[in-house]
């Protein structure tokens, strides 16, 4: 074999490998404003929390884009307490939580927004957040 034919064989092999890679890559675009449904995992009380404390959530259902799952039900989500109003006379108190991100099927953190005001909450309480920025997710 000549150097030229070896080079051509190498190029052909690379084209086959790269073509296979691109053919199997499947990405979906999760659009800004897409709703994601969550439920609370831990149950802190107003007496136990302070601003900046982490509140754990998980997705309560799959997020599907063009027939492909981009976020699985049960994926973890983290929020932080931004404001606390302690209970007083005739008031139940309030905790404002801001969920920061959820995890996509490819491991990326998807930024989300929606301040959540909680007064009566417990494990399993449902809420909705929204995708902050459009993002491409690999669904292989």
Domains of the chain: which residue ranges? 27-138
φ and ψ of 131, to 5 deg: -65, 130
Domain 27-138 - what CATH class?
mainly beta
Cα 106 to Cα 1, 28, 55: the distances in Å are: 43, 11, 23
Higher pLDDT, 47 or 138: 138
CA distance 94 to 104: 30
φ and ψ of 10, to 5 deg: -65, -45
Tokens of 31: 């659009």
Res 20: pLDDT = 45
Average pLDDT over residues 124-136: 87
Residue 124 has pLDDT above 60, yes or no: yes
Res 17: pLDDT = 57
Element (H, E) at 59: strand 54-59
**Mean pLDDT, the chain, whole residue set:** 80
Contact (Cβ atoms closer than 8 angstroms) between residue 75 and residue 103: yes
- The string of pLDDT tens digits covering residues 3-27 is 656 556 656 555 555 554 444 458 8
Residue 105 has pLDDT above 90, yes or no: yes
- The string of pLDDT tens digits covering residues 32-71 is 999 999 998 887 777 778 899 888 899 999 999 998 999 9
Average pLDDT over residues 125-131: 87
Res 60: pLDDT = 94
Res 12: pLDDT = 56
């Amino acid at each position: 074999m000549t150097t030229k034919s070896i080079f051509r064989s190498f190029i052909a092999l690379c084209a086959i490998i790269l073509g296979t890679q691109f053919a199997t890559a499947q990405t979906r675009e999760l659009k800004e404003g897409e709703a994601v449904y969550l439920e609370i995992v831990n149950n802190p009380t107003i007496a136990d929390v302070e601003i900046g404390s982490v509140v754990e959530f998980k997705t309560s259902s799959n997020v599907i884009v063009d027939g492909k799952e981009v976020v699985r039900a049960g994926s973890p989500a983290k929020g932080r307490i931004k404001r606390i109003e302690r209970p007083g006379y005739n008031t139940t108190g309030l905790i404002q939580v801001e969920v920061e991100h959820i995890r996509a099927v490819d491991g990326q953190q998807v930024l989300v927004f929606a301040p959540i005001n909680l007064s009566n909450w417990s494990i399993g309480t449902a809420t909705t957040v929204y995708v902050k920025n459009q993002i491409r997710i690999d669904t292989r």
